[in-house]
C-alpha cells in the first residue's frame, strides 16, 4: 500500500489539512481535504503584527479536529507535517504562538524558511511540468502573488539563474493601505497604484528581466480567472490564459468588494478577498514583459514538501551544483582545480559512504564545498579558507537551506591549516552534526591534496581495506607534492574515521 501522509498548512487566511498518498514514482493522490477560515494574515500584517488570542484558540480547535481525522486515517507520526510561512514567521508573538499550539495539541509547527519555500516550489514545478519541451529553451519566470509574500524563480533554458521572495502580498498591501482610504474605490485605486510601483521596482532592481518570454503562474487566483473566463487552453502539463482575457476579467471585478465577488461568482471568502489585487499583479507583470499569454501550472508548496519527504528532488542537486559554479566564477576560482577536487572528493566519499554512513545528500554538500573551497583567494591568498567561509555564508546557493549553506562553508573553512577542535556555532549543532563536518572536511583535505601538483585529472584508484584507505595513481614527475600533502592530512582522516 502506498505511504499515506498528513500535511497541515497554516496559511494567511485559513488552516488546511490534506491527507495524501504517493508512490515511488511521485504519483500523488489527495484522499481528503479540510479547511477552516482563520485570518492569521489579518493579524500579522496589521499594525499590531501579533496573532490574537481569538485566532490562536481557533487554530487550536481546528488542529484538534484535524488530529482526530489523522488518527482515523492511521497516518504514522513521522508522516505528519505541520507547516507555516509568513503569517506565522513574521508575527511578533511567533514563538509564544507555536509554544501554545504545541502544549494544547501536541503538534509542533515548522516555520518554513525562504530557501525551503523556493526549494519545494521548484520541485513541485518539475513534478508538474516534467520534461515539457515548450519550456526547455524558454526564458521563464515562475511567479505567485501570495497573501504576505510573493516568490519567484527565474530560469533560462531550464537553469535557475535567480530566485527571490518579495516582501509583498495581497493581504499585506490591503492592511497597509486600508487605514488611509476613505472609500472602497479609493482603497482599490491606491492598491493598484502600489502594485504597479512594486512591479516597477522588481524590474528596476533587476529581480525580473524584460528578456523573460514565459510567465508561469499558479494558485487559486489565476486558476479562478481561467475558469471564470473559460478561455484557458489545456495542454499535457499546463494550460494557457490569454492576457487580454485576464485584463477583461480583472477590469470587471476591479471595484467589487470581496462580498460582491463571492456572491457573483460563488467563491469562498478566502478567494474573493484577494482575487482582484492578485490578478492586477499578474496583469501588470505580464504587460511589462509584453507576453500575450500566461502559463498555468499545478504548482503547490505541499506537493513539493511531500515529494522531498519521499526523496524525489528531480534535478535539484544539478541546479545547486550550477549555482555553486556560478558563485565560483563570480570570485574568479580556478575552475579546473575545483572540478578535479570535486571529482576526487566524490570518489573518496563514495568509497567510505557505506562504512561511515555518509548519505548521498552529504556527498552532495561535500562536492559543493570542493567547488568553493578556494574562492577566498579572491580577497586574499593568506587565510583564504577563512575568507571562503565568509563568502559562502553570504552567497545564495539554490536548493540549499541556511543550515546546509553553513555546512558547505564550514567544510571549506576546514579544508586546510589547523584541524578544528571546535566548530563555529557548535552550540547549535548536535554531536552527529559536528562529526559530519569533521569527516567530510577530512575527505576534502585528501581530495585537495591529490591535486597539489596541478597536473590535471589523474586516473586515481581508491579502495578500502580493513585498516586503510588506499589511493593509487600513475607515477609522474611531480607526484611528491601529492604524497607530501596526503601525509600531512592523513592524521585528520584517521582522527575522524579511524582510517589511515
Q: How confident is the model at residue 139 (pLDDT cuts 50, 70, 90)?
A: very high
**Shared domain check, 367 and 288:** no
Q: Which residues contact 250 (CB under 8 A, 6 or more apart)?
A: 225, 276, 279, 280, 283
Using the predicted structure, report yes or no on whether residue 252 has a pLDDT greater than 90: yes
16-31: per-residue pLDDT in tens? 999 999 877 778 999 9
Percent with pLDDT over 90 in the chain: 62
pTM exceeds 0.85 = yes
**Last residue of one domain, picked from the residues 111, 126, 143:** 111
Range of the domain at 102: 4-111
240, 294 contact by CB (below 8 A)? yes
Q: φ and ψ at 356, to 5 degrees?
A: -120, 20
Using the predicted structure, report yes or no on whether residue 121 has a pLDDT greater than 70: yes
**Last residue of one domain, picked from the residues 265, 300, 335:** 300
Strand order in the sheet with 28-37: 28-37, 14-22, 4-10, 80-84, 110-111
What average pLDDT does range 122-141 have in this prediction? Answer: 86
Please give the full DSSP string across 30-60, using - where no structure is assigned. EEEEEEEE--HHHHHTSSS-S--HHHHHHHH
Q: How confident is the model at residue 2 (pLDDT cuts 50, 70, 90)?
A: confident
Residue 305 lies in a domain: no
**Shared domain check, 254 and 292:** yes
Cell numbers that stand for 72 in this block: 482515523
409-458: per-residue pLDDT in tens? 999 999 887 766 565 555 566 777 788 888 999 999 989 988 876 666 66
* Distance, C-alpha 30 to centroid of its chain: 23
d(CA 6, CA 335): 45
What average pLDDT does range 42-46 have in this prediction? Answer: 91
* pLDDT of 498: 47
What average pLDDT does range 20-43 have in this prediction? Answer: 90
454-490: per-residue pLDDT in tens? 666 667 778 777 777 777 776 655 555 555 555 555 5
- C-alpha distances out from residue 156 to 58, 140, 141, Å: 44, 6, 9
Question: Which has the closest alpha carbon to 17: 46, 45, 38, 41?
Answer: 38
What average pLDDT does range 266-271 have in this prediction? Answer: 87
Please give the full DSSP string across 310-333, using - where no structure is assigned. TT--TTHHHHHHHHHHHHHHHTT-
**Shared domain check, 75 and 132:** no
**Shared domain check, 422 and 339:** yes
- Give the pairing of strands 293-296 and 461-464: unpaired
- C-alpha distances out from residue 476 to 342, 458, 459, 488, Å: 21, 10, 12, 20
What average pLDDT does range 62-85 have in this prediction? Answer: 96
Residue 312 lies in a domain: no
Task: Read off the DSSP letter of residue 231.
Answer: -
Q: If residue 393 lies in a helix (H) or strand (E), which one and from where to where?
A: helix 384-393
Question: Which has the closest alpha carbon to 148: 286, 295, 39?
Answer: 39
* Distance, C-alpha 183 to centroid of its chain: 40
- Residues present in the chain in total: 500
* pLDDT of 399: 94
**Last residue of one domain, picked from the residues 61, 83, 111:** 111
d(CA 231, CA 228): 8
* pLDDT of 141: 94
Instruction: Out of 87-101, 299-313, 337-351, 424-438, pick the least confident.
Output: 424-438
* pLDDT of 143: 95
**Shared domain check, 39 and 172:** no
Q: Which of 44-58, 183-197, 407-421, 430-444 has the highest mean pLDDT?
A: 44-58
Amino acid at each position: 500500500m502506498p505511504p499515506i501522509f498528513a500535511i497541515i498548512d497554516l496559511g494567511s487566511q485559513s488552516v488546511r489539512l490534506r491527507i495524501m498518498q504517493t508512490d515511488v514514482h511521485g504519483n500523488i493522490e489527495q484522499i481528503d481535504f479540510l479547511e477552516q477560515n482563520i485570518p492569521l494574515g489579518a493579524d500579522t500584517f496589521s499594525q499590531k503584527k501579533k496573532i490574537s488570542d481569538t485566532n490562536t484558540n481557533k487554530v487550536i480547535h481546528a488542529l484538534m479536529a484535524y488530529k482526530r481525522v489523522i488518527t482515523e486515517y492511521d497516518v504514522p507520526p513521522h508522516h505528519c507535517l505541520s507547516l507555516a510561512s509568513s503569517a506565522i514567521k513574521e508575527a511578533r508573538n511567533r514563538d509564544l504562538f507555536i509554544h501554545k499550539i504545541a502544549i494544547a495539541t501536541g503538534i509542533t509547527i515548522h516555520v518554513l524558511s525562504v530557501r525551503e519555500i523556493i526549494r519545494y516550489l521548484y520541485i513541485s514545478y518539475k513534478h508538474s511540468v516534467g520534461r515539457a519541451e515548450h519550456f526547455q529553451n524558454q526564458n521563464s519566470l515562475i511567479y505567485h502573488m501570495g497573501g504576505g509574500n510573493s516568490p519567484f524563480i527565474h530560469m533560462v533554458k531550464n537553469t535557475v539563474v535567480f530566485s527571490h521572495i518579495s516582501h509583498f502580498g495581497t493581504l499585506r498591501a490591503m492592511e497597509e493601505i486600508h487605514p488611509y482610504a476613505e472609500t472602497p474605490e479609493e482603497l482599490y485605486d491606491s492598491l493598484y497604484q502600489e502594485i504597479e510601483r512594486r512591479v516597477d521596482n522588481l524590474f528596476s532592481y533587476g529581480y525580473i528581466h524584460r528578456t523573460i518570454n514565459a510567465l508561469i503562474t499558479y494558485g487559486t487566483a489565476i486558476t479562478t480567472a481561467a475558469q471564470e473566463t473559460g478561455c484557458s487552453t489545456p495542454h499535457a502539463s499546463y494550460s494557457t490564459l490569454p492576457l487580454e482575457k485576464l485584463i477583461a476579467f480583472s477590469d470587471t471585478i476591479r471595484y467589487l468588494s470581496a462580498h460582491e465577488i463571492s456572491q457573483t461568482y460563488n467563491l469562498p471568502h478566502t478567494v474573493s478577498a484577494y482575487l482582484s489585487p492578485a490578478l492586477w499583479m499578474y496583469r501588470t507583470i505580464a504587460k511589462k514583459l509584453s507576453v500575450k499569454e500566461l502559463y498555468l501550472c499545478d504548482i503547490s508548496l505541499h506537493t513539493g514538501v511531500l515529494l522531498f519527504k519521499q526523496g524525489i528532488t528531480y534535478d535539484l542537486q544539478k541546479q545547486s551544483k550550477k549555482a555553486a559554479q556560478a558563485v565560483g566564477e563570480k570570485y574568479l576560482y580556478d575552475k579546473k582545480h575545483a572540478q578535479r577536487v570535486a571529482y576526487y572528493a566524490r570518489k573518496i566519499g563514495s568509497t567510505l559512504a557505506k562504512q561511515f554512513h555518509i548519505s548521498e545528500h552529504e556527498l552532495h554538500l561535500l562536492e559543493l564545498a570542493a567547488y568553493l573551497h578556494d574562492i577566498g583567494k579572491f580577497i586574499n591568498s593568506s587565510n583564504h579558507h577563512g575568507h571562503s567561509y565568509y563568502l559562502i555564508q553570504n552567497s545564495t546557493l539554490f536548493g540549499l537551506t541556511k543550515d546546509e549553506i553553513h555546512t558547505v562553508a564550514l567544510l571549506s573553512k576546514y579544508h586546510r591549516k589547523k584541524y578544528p577542535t571546535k566548530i563555529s556555532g557548535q552550540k547549535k549543532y548536535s554531536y552527529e552534526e559536528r562529526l559530519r563536518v569533521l569527516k567530510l572536511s577530512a575527505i576534502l583535505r585528501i581530495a585537495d591534496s591529490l591535486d597539489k601538483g596541478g597536473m590535471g585529472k589523474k586516473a586515481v584508484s581508491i579502495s578500502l581495506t580493513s585498516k586503510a584507505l588506499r589511493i593509487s595513481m600513475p607515477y609522474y614527475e611531480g607526484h611528491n607534492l601529492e604524497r607530501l600533502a596526503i601525509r600531512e592530512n592523513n592524521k585528520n582522516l584517521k582522527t575522524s574515521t579511524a582510517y589511515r
